[in-house]
A = this chain, B = another copy of it.
Amino acid sequence: MTGKPTLAVVGATGAVGVVMLQILSQRADIWGEIRLIASPRSAGRKLAVRGEEIEVVALSEDAFDGVDIALFDVPDEVAAQWAPIAVARGAVVVDNSAAFRLDPEVPLVVPEVNPHAVRTRPRGIVANPNCTTLTMIVALGALHAEFGLRELVVSSYQAVSGAGRAGVDTLRAQLSLVAGTELGTKPGDVRRAVGEDTGPFPDPVALNVVPWAGSLRQDGWSSEEMKVRDESRKILGLPQLPVAVTCVRVPVITTHSLTVHARFQGEVTVDGAREILATAPGVVLCDDPAAGEFPTPADVVGTDPTWVGRLRRALDDPTALELFVCGDNLRKGAALNTAQIAELVAADFC
């Protein structure tokens, strides 16, 4: 192949798609044509990327003609149907749905952790992990490379934009109803104020936390919790890693946070872990509680790295570390990692 590769963004008008266009406009411009593809009802809209307005075209087989790499951010069932079509038309697909993540013939890639996996893609598809997995996996990958991971216990504090625009609209509408009131002190008072329609969430999310994300899987686990376990194992190449996860939605617009209790093969020290995290690509260590420094979503949102703070060694287990990590779920958690994978694939083209 000669010249710059042609890139397609499928789902260009969604919450992640919009961030993808910003990211493509900010990163080194390695692309020839950038084609924007969305559902027929969005076709004809014009969106800005790299400083120029591009008209969105409707998803169709022909839309992939001449495309070298296609980034998909669409629902699972749309990806399952259309990714193989794009591949058949000659594109490599980088897919951000759950449709292919656990397929043994599809690599699940985080460029800072397992970049070489991108080269073995017998189906022509590379999968992008779930946003919650991505919040912690760059930091954990660096620590695993040094210490050897043995177990994870994870709790999430997930932003509403993980549920798309509907999630953001729901929280904003609920906040307008509860701000300036005395609500939040009597059973059900917030629920009555926000009404029956709680959007994509099973309960009110303003002035509340909701211990649920995704759909119901076996034995009471949520799909989101299973994704964090299954995807972390695959990315780290540790298929037997014990992973216990509880996912909780919190009233934050964008940026997921996680508490992580990570046990390693042998003794670890905070100084040793600091040294690794301070130099790990894609990680910012923000950890000086004496100075009031730890990451929070309000400061992390809109940035690219994984932010790590509250680093401590477990008091009762010299092989375990405690971490609090934050990452923008629309950037590294979705669009940025997808773009990074596409750049890895493109490097092979050139």
Contact = CB atoms under 8 A, between A and B. Distances in A.
A208 B261 contact: no
Interface residues of A, number: 76
Interface stretch (A95-103, A115-123, A252-260): A252-260
A19 to B, nearest CB: 10
Contacts of A191: 298-299
Contact of A299 (B179, B188, B242): B188
B244 A297 contact: no
Contacts of A311: 220
A67 to B, nearest CB: 30
Nearest to A300: B187
Contact of A244 (B189, B289, B315): B315
Interface string A299-330: 11111000001111111110010101000000
Contacts of A297: 184, 207-209
Contacts of A172: 179-180
B302 A246 contact: no
Contacts of A303: 187
Interface string A254-272: 1001010100000000100
A211 interface: yes
A252 B206 CA distance: 8
A157 interface: yes
Contacts of A259: 155, 211, 246, 248
A248 B250 CA distance: 12
Contacts of A208: 252, 296-298
A39 interface: no
A26 interface: no
Nearest to A191: B298
Nearest to A324: B211
A272 to B, nearest CB: 14
Contacts of A112: none
A63 to B, nearest CB: 30
Contacts of A324: 211, 246, 248
A292 interface: yes
Q: Which of A151, A172, A180, A320 has the most CB of B within 10 A?
A: A172
B209 A252 contact: yes
Interface in A175-214: 175-176, 178-180, 183-191, 202-204, 207-212
8 smallest A-B Cβ distances: which pairs?
A184-B253, A179-B179, A242-B316, A155-B155, A155-B259, A211-B324, A208-B298, A246-B259
Given A187-B300, A210-B294, A220-B312, 7 more contacts: A153-B261, A183-B253, A187-B299, A203-B298, A204-B298, A211-B296, A219-B312
